[in-house]
């Protein structure tokens, strides 16, 4: 019975390890590396405990099995000081071995907390999307978080509604976002790439769909991205119809100016760089058909989100125009 269970566990572990941008087992930054060391340490200790317990278990099963011709009750033992001391001391030693590096790394990471010169990002969690403000850069973004590589990024995390948790496993451990409270942490991405993140706290109907991406790029590229985000979107006449629909139906909730409303949490995701999104609504395929489906009936795709559906208001042709316009909201 144990073998299939172990096989499944191995599969789960290797499955998680395969995606280098999602797994805590493939750290891609200094915070994740130190935490990975603790993960390994606790797994080795657990494996040792498991092996010893199994050996004793099998030995006892065999040694004290029922033998033919055996009658009556075996010798009864009540309490053993020696045994109790042994099975109290061993866990105490193991927990101490685990506790010392855990406390040390916790303090070490706190000591390395970046100064205020480092890039500041304010993460505001919403049901079920992520808002990012860069107070020093004067821009705001949503869903995909852009950061420079090779430097510490300081995070201030909070929530607008319920408790969520911000977790990009390959970069570092999760931090809760609590309404009315600000938590701090720091992360660093060593290499450019798109790191996957998840909301790691059950937060409502669409908790499982509350993913996010961290797009790490080298400093010059990041600076260029910031400059483009600051520029107002200039629309082209090709998408004039879609722009008009957006102005009539969408702009009361969705800003398309990244420099707007920095001091207050956004009501809906800022769409300044919507066309650059890695995925739609932090989970779905970023193609025209899916975007149109989303606008028609967001509730069906992501239950419990606040966006109203436009299935009754917009016909297919209008939807197509709107999608064309949305795709032009790009800074690339």
Residues of the shown chain interacting with ligand CUA in the complex, contacts defined by CB under 6 A: 125, 128, 164, 199, 201-203, 207, 210
Q: Give the DSSP H or E segment for 299.
A: helix 298-301
| Angle at CA of residue 212, ends 206 and 217, nearest 5° | 175
Which of residues 125 and 239 has its CB atom nearest to ligand CUA in the complex? 125
Taking the complex as a whole, how short is the minimal distance between the CB of residue 86 and ligand CUA, in angstroms?
43
Residue where the block lists tokens 């911000």: 166
Asked whether the CA dihedral 231, 234, 239, 244 is positive or negative, the reply is positive
Which of residues 176 and 257 has its CB atom nearest to ligand CUA in the complex? 176
Length of the chain: 332
Taking the complex as a whole, how short is the minimal distance between the CB of residue 273 and ligand CUA, in angstroms?
22
Question: Could you give the CA distance from residue 137 to residue 229 in angstroms, rounded to a whole number?
Answer: 10
**DSSP secondary structure letters along 160-220:** SSS-EEEEETTTEEEEEE-BT--EEEEE--SS-EEEEEEE-S--STTGGG-EEEEEEE-HH
Residue 119: helix, strand or coil by DSSP? Answer: strand
Taking the complex as a whole, how short is the minimal distance between the CB of residue 202 and ligand CUA, in angstroms?
6
Taking the complex as a whole, how short is the minimal distance between the CB of residue 8 and ligand CUA, in angstroms?
25
Taking the complex as a whole, how short is the minimal distance between the CB of residue 212 and ligand CUA, in angstroms?
10
Burial of residue 9 (CB within 10 Å: 0-12, 13-18, 19+) is exposed
CB 122 within 8 A of CB 133: yes
Taking the complex as a whole, how short is the minimal distance between the CB of residue 204 and ligand CUA, in angstroms?
7
Which of residues 152 and 302 has its CB atom nearest to ligand CUA in the complex? 302
**CA torsion, ordered 269, 274, 276, 278, to nearest 10 deg:** 50
Which of residues 30 and 197 has its CB atom nearest to ligand CUA in the complex? 197
Taking the complex as a whole, how short is the minimal distance between the CB of residue 158 and ligand CUA, in angstroms?
13
Which of residues 201 and 276 has its CB atom nearest to ligand CUA in the complex? 201
Taking the complex as a whole, how short is the minimal distance between the CB of residue 188 and ligand CUA, in angstroms?
24
CB 129 within 8 A of CB 282: yes
Which of residues 207 and 213 has its CB atom nearest to ligand CUA in the complex? 207
Which of residues 121 and 331 has its CB atom nearest to ligand CUA in the complex? 121
In b/e form, how buried is each residue of 60-82, taking b as 16+ CB within 10 angstroms? Answer: eeeeeeeeeeeeeeeeeeeeeee
Burial of residue 286 (CB within 10 Å: 0-12, 13-18, 19+) is middle
Taking the complex as a whole, how short is the minimal distance between the CB of residue 298 and ligand CUA, in angstroms?
16
Which of residues 28 and 198 has its CB atom nearest to ligand CUA in the complex? 198
Which of residues 254 and 302 has its CB atom nearest to ligand CUA in the complex? 302
């Amino acid at each position: 019975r144990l073998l299939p269970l172990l096989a499944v566990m191995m599969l789960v572990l290797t499955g998680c390890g395969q995606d280098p941008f999602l797994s805590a087992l493939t750290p891609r930054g200094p915070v994740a590396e130190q935490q990975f060391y603790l993960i390994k340490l606790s797994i080795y200790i657990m494996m040792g405990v498991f092996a010893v317990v199994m050996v004793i278990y099998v030995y006892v099963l065999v040694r004290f099995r029922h033998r033919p011709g055996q009658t009556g009750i075996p010798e009864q033992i009540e309490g053993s000081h020696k045994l109790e001391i042994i099975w109290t001391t061993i866990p105490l030693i193991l927990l101490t071995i685990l506790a010392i590096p855990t406390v040390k790394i916790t303090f070490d990471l706190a000591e390395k907390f970046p100064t205020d010169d480092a890039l500041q990002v304010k993460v505001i969690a919403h049901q079920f999307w992520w808002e990012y403000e860069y107070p020093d850069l004067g821009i705001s973004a949503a869903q995909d978080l852009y950061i420079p590589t090779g430097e510490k990024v300081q995070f201030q995390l909070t929530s607008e509604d319920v408790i969520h948790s911000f977790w990009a496993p390959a970069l570092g451990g999760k931090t809760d976002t609590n309404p009315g409270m600000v938590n701090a942490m720091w992360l660093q991405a060593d290499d450019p790439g798109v790191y996957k993140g998840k909301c790691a706290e059950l937060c409502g109907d669409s908790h499982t769909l509350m993913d996010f991406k961290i797009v790490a790029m080298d400093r010059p590229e990041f600076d260029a991205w910031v400059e483009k985000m600051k520029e107002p979107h200039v629309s082209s006449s090709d998408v004039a119809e879609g722009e008009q629909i957006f102005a009539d139906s969408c702009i009361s909730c969705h800003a398309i100016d990244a420099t707007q409303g920095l001091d207050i949490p956004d009501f809906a995701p800022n769409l300044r760089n919507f066309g650059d999104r890695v995925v739609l609504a932090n989970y779905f395929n970023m193609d025209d058909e899916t975007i149109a489906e989303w606008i028609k009936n967001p509730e069906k795709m992501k239950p419990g989100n606040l966006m109203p559906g436009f299935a009754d208001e917009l016909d297919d042709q209008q939807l197509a125009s709107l999608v064309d316009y949305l795709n032009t909201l790009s800074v690339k």
